[in-house]
Amino acid sequence: MNTRDFDWKPLALVPLLSLIVLPFIGSPSTWLTLTVAGLAMGMIIFIIASGLTLVFGLMDVLNFGHGVFIALGAFVATSVLGAMGDWTGSEHLWRNMVAVLPAMLVAMAVAGAVGLAFERFIVRPVYGQHLKQILITMGGMIIGEELIKVIWGPAQIPLPLPEGMRGSLFVGDAAIEKYRLIAVVVGLVVFGVLAWTLSRTKVGLLIRAGVQDREMVESLGYRIRRLFVGVFVVGSALAGLGGVMWGLYQQSVVPQMGAQVNVLIFIVIIIGGLGSTGGALIGALLVGLMANYTGFLAPKVALFSNIALMVAILLWRPQGVYPVTNR
Does residue 154 belong to any structural domain of this protein?
yes
Instruction: Read off the pLDDT of each residue in 201-219 and give the average, rounded to a whole number.
Output: 81
d(CA 280, CA 288): 12
Question: Residue 250: pLDDT above 90?
Answer: yes
User: Please, which pLDDT band fits residue 4 given cuts at 50, 70 and 90?
Assistant: low
Pairwise pLDDT comparison (273 vs 214), residue with the higher score = 273
Asked if the structure places residue 7 within a domain, the reply is no
User: Taking each helix axis from N to C terminus, what angle separates 257-272 and 28-54, rounded to the nearest 10 degrees?
Assistant: 90
Secondary structure in 3-state letters for 62-75: CCCCCHHHHHHHHH
Q: Is the pLDDT of residue 59 over 80?
A: no
Cβ–Cβ contacts within 10 Å for residue 137, how many?
22
23 inside domain: no
**Amino acid symbol at 251:** Q
Residues sharing a CB contact under 8 Å with residue 151, sequence separation 6 or more, in sequence order = 75
pTM of the model: 0.92
Tens of pLDDT, residues 6-28: 788 899 999 999 999 999 998 99
Q: Residue 252 pairs with which residues in a beta bridge?
A: 158
pLDDT of 205 > 80? The answer is yes
* Residue 9: inside a domain: no
**For residue 131, is it within any domain?**
yes
Could you read off the pLDDT of 69-124 as tens digits, one per residue? 999 999 999 999 999 888 998 888 899 999 999 999 999 999 999 999 999 999 98
- Please give the pLDDT value at position 5: 65
Q: Are strands 157-158 and 174-177 parallel, antiparallel or unpaired?
A: unpaired
Question: pLDDT band at residue 325, thresholds of 50, 70 and 90?
Answer: low
Sign of the CA dihedral running 230, 236, 242, 244: negative
Characterize 17-33 residue by residue with b for buried, 16 or more Cβ atoms within 10 angstroms of its Cβ, and e for exposed: bbeebeeebeeeeebbb
Is residue 327 over pLDDT 60? Answer: no
Residue 260 has pLDDT above 90, yes or no: no
Q: Is 252 helix (H, G, I), strand (E, B) or coil?
A: strand
pLDDT at 204: 85
What's the total number of domains in the chain?
A: 1
Q: For the domain that residue 167 is a member of, what is the CATH number?
A: 1.10.3470
Residue 199: predicted pLDDT = 87
Residue 174 dihedral angles phi and psi, to the nearest 5°:
-85, 130
Residue 326 has pLDDT above 60, yes or no: no
Domain for residue 326, yes or no?
no
